A and B are shown apart, each in its own frame.
Chain A
């Protein structure tokens, strides 16, 4: 295809040259016809030169690109990464907007969130357009160059300017476009980058339900989310008396796009797990998800009261007024822990015999005073009867760390915390790339004028003889 273009371009330039000589010898003393003659001849020669330098131009593009460090792979990686960030941010803003309207702060959603969403849509549009331009240049660059040379060769300068522009755009953009990430980062470097945890980890409003081994919700559980890479805290919430952790407040929330580590703690017993939001979150409605975590080694018997089953397996459970009967299967000698508040009275029968605990520890868990009674069980089946008289119930006091407000530093009633990082992002991804594209365009225009505008005066004088005019 390119060969045919180049062949046609060559013959067009030959035609232009011969037309030039023909116009030279027309026996009519009209200057307007005569002045075309040297123009046509020089244009023909110039276009023929361009045809023959086609491969040289392509090699030059690669060469200069290599000297300057242009790398298409890193360009595509960079632009794909940035597009992903903006897309994630759009989703998060939409979720925040919906949650805001549900909690009655509709005016915030309408004014701030919608304008941020619309401008981020422009950002993502421009990034995608730049990606398309890059793909066109990489796949069709050689073909466009041949087409540009063909247009340049048309006699009488009909399409010479457009041909020259096409040639110079291919050259300049092939060399310059992969350098855009370097330019953007260079321009954005002096700015203080506000960290955007939300674009890394996403945002979702989740109702977390933590259940014990028989499926009952455990009241007042401590739920902590950690980053897997450096163990920094992402969120800390305390569950309600009903056993639910509701993160649906606009300032709360949990990560939604990356796996994170989870520590569930109740009365000192810890469960460490990893949550993968993509798999583990179940969708309740448009905005809210549900996460179910099961603490298999725990049996809840009240507020911050529980039996830690350790390695024993619960076969059956009977509950009546303040009386729990457990049938346990023990594979190897294991200790179970019965944790109650200090104001409670506990009586334990194992296999029918009253037993006092092997060991009792006293400790405090976030302001709640607890006793932990240890009972060692031998291998085999055991029946544990537990009679408990509940005393005063204390509830734990924990300083919560909200994901959106504290870790991501975005407070929705102070819009500047949200607008600040997004303003930086808009500069980084909309203004800087467009400025760079403008630089590339002005360079192409200057190169096009070089290729299609000026007349080489020496050739002009030679072909016209001693006459200039």
Chain B
């Protein structure tokens, strides 16, 4: 079971690295499309969408560890003993 955990951790690391590279790539492609002299609005809109999604995704990527730490914090807060059950 620990091999599986290590394997998954390795994949997470790989995915994070690929994501950062992908962010940079998409951002560049987005700006390239946006600024290109192709006279189709659809192309410019596609470029705009790439840029937005890439930045938004990069934000969530960076916030990833914070999100999970927040969940852990809230969950531990809820581990207080429950109130006494109502006696009938």
Q: How far is the CA of A25 from the CA of B16 in the complex (A)?
A: 12
- Say yes or no: A15-B12 contact (C-beta < 8 A), given A21-B64, A59-B82: yes
Is B71's CB under 8 angstroms from A48's CB? yes
The contact string, 1 if C-beta is below 8 Å from chain B, for chain A 91-129, is 000000000000000000000000000000000000000
In the complex, the chain B residue whose C-beta lies closest to that of A13 is B68
| Interface size counted on chain B using CB atoms at 8 A | 42
Is B12's CB under 8 angstroms from A27's CB? no
Note all chain A residues with C-beta closer than 8 A to B29.
Answer: 27
A325 interfacial contact with B, CB 8 Å: no
Note all chain B residues with C-beta closer than 8 A to A24.
Answer: 53-54, 56-57, 60
B29-50: which residues lie under 8 A (CB-CB) from chain A?
29-30, 46, 49-50
Is A4's CB under 8 angstroms from B5's CB? yes
| Binding site secondary structure of chain A | helix
Is B56's CB under 8 angstroms from A15's CB? no
In the complex, the chain B residue whose C-beta lies closest to that of A46 is B71
- Say yes or no: A11-B12 contact (C-beta < 8 A), given A18-B64, A465-B52: yes
A432 interfacial contact with B, CB 8 Å: no
Q: How far is the CA of A15 from the CA of B15 in the complex (A)?
A: 8
Q: How far is the CA of A27 from the CA of B23 in the complex (A)?
A: 9
Which residues does A use to contact B, with CB under 8 Å? 4-5, 7-8, 11-12, 14-15, 17-22, 24-27, 29, 34, 37, 41, 45, 48-49, 52-53, 55-56, 59-60, 63, 66-67, 463, 465
Note all chain B residues with C-beta closer than 8 A to A11.
Answer: 5, 8-9, 12
Is A15's CB under 8 angstroms from B75's CB? no
Is A18's CB under 8 angstroms from B16's CB? yes
CB distance from A114 to the nearest CB of B (A): 48
Is A55's CB under 8 angstroms from B79's CB? yes
- Say yes or no: A25-B22 contact (C-beta < 8 A), given A4-B1, A56-B79, A465-B52: yes
Set A12, A19, A29, A463: member contacting B15, Cβ < 8 A: A19
Note all chain A residues with C-beta closer than 8 A to B54.
Answer: 24-25, 27
Is A12's CB under 8 angstroms from B75's CB? no
Q: Which 10 A-B pairs have CB atoms at the shortest separation, nearest pair first?
A: A52-B75, A24-B57, A4-B1, A27-B26, A25-B57, A11-B8, A21-B61, A67-B85, A22-B19, A25-B54
- Say yes or no: A15-B61 contact (C-beta < 8 A), given A52-B71, A53-B75: no
Offer 10 A-B interface pairs, CB within 8 angstroms, sorted by A: A14-B12, A14-B64, A15-B11, A15-B12, A21-B60, A22-B19, A29-B46, A56-B75, A59-B82, A63-B82
